[in-house]
Amino acid sequence: MNIEQRIKNLSVPCGKIDVVLDTDAYNEIDDQFAIAYMLKSKYKLNVKAICAAPFHNGRSGGPKDGMEKSYDEILRLLSMMKEEVDVFKGSEKYLEDEKTPVISDAAKMMAELSEKYSPEKPLYIVAIGAITNVASALLLNPKMKDNVVVVWLGGHAHHYCDTIEFNMKQDIAAARVVMQSGVPFVQLPCEGVVGNFKISEPELNFWFIGKNELATYLGENTISEANSYAKGLAWTRTIWDVTAVAWLLNDDEQFMLSRIISTKNPAYDGLYEADADGYPMAYVYHIKRDALMIDLINKITA
């Protein structure tokens, strides 16, 4: 891919595009917002498939269990929304090294589907969890890098003290595979950038709950989880994953600002390392919180 095409593919796409979403949907409460937001943006986003990503925290017994629970959560949300989208199970474990893919239905689907696209008409893959499935697809089909654009919510801001962020730290090898592969890559960092996209209980009660079944589910799910740790105190909750979908909708920079930089790869020591031969990537450095929140509210409650 020549530099002109790469820079074009790192810009917000024009017209209607095909998208695959890769999500650890059961991990917390924000993936559900992102799935709904994507499916409510049909004027621009044609969702080809949704893939379940692995995760391991207090809500799962391990990466496989996290992926299975995410698969079920995706189906639950699609049923609620009365939407029909192909759903694929992803990796049951993280990459063991930077050369060996984890074979899964999701990775095989992405590797095969990418063959139908080109640098001039790419497939957009939005990843909002550990990026194992995408890395495995790239290892299965290295030519895929020319036919897709990867948009990932992962890592922290480059000015932050470390990059020990949930999506990234679970599978550093996968992050390194993707970021060094040469695929056009868009990063939305968590702390220091996307952490600004917060919502509070009064806002959820006012804007979401009671508006429709979906909005009520999203609002009540968020309030329930936040109150489980807030213990009656004031709180705000970041709904991180919405921003990765919003990058695709960011015409005229209405929701966020980004710039082209040379890729910095995550190292195994929890920091970024400079890459003298790093490919250009798009780096989001500011979220326009209110503008994006208004669009999210309007679409979910329509």
- What is the Cα–Cα distance from 275 to 230, expressed in whole angstroms? 41
Nearest to 270 by CA among 169, 170, 190: 169
Token reading at 33: 């917002």
Instruction: Give the integer Cα–Cα distance in Å for 287 and 269.
Output: 28
Looking at residue 83, what is its pLDDT?
97
Residue 275 has pLDDT above 80, yes or no: no
Return d(Cα 93, Cα 75) in angstroms, integer. 21
Which pLDDT score, from 0 to 100, does residue 89 have?
A: 98
Give the pLDDT score at 34.
98
Q: pLDDT grade, residue 222 (50/70/90)?
A: very high
**What is the predicted pLDDT for the residue at 77?**
96
User: Would you put residue 253 in left (φ > 0), alpha (ψ -120 to 50) or beta?
Assistant: left
Strand runs labelled E in the chain: 17-23, 45-52, 87-88, 123-128, 148-153, 185-188, 198-200, 236-238, 256-262, 264-266, 272-274, 280-287
Digit-coded pLDDT (tens) for 17-46 = 999 999 999 999 999 999 999 999 999 999
Give the list of residues 6+ apart from residue 262 with CB closer than 8 angstroms, or none: 274, 275, 278, 279, 280, 281
Pairwise CA distance, residues 275 & 283, whole Å: 15
Rounded to an integer, the average pLDDT of 260-271 is 94
- 274 — pLDDT class (breaks 50, 70, 90): confident
Contact between 98 and 177 (Cβ < 8 Å): yes
Q: How confident is the model at residue 228 (pLDDT cuts 50, 70, 90)?
A: confident
pLDDT at 276: 72
Q: What are phi and psi of 108, to 5 degrees?
A: -65, -40
User: How large a percentage of the chain has pLDDT more than 90?
Assistant: 95
- Is the pLDDT at 142 greater than 90? The verdict is yes
H or E element that contains 73: helix 63-81
Q: Which string of DSSP letters, residue by residue, matches 168-233? A: HHHTHHHHHHHHHTT--EEEE-TTTTGGG-EEEHHHHHHHTTTT-HHHHHHHHHHHHHHHHHHTTS
Per-residue pLDDT tens over the stretch 117-126: 999 999 999 9
Structural domains of the chain ordered from first start: 3-197+239-288 (3.90.245.10), 198-238 (no CATH)
Residue 217: its pLDDT value, please?
A: 96
User: Which helix (H) or strand (E) segment is 298 a member of?
Assistant: helix 289-300
Q: Which residue has the higher pLDDT, 227 or 218?
A: 218
pLDDT of residue 121: 98
Q: What is the mean pLDDT of residues 232-249?
A: 96
At 230 the pLDDT is 86
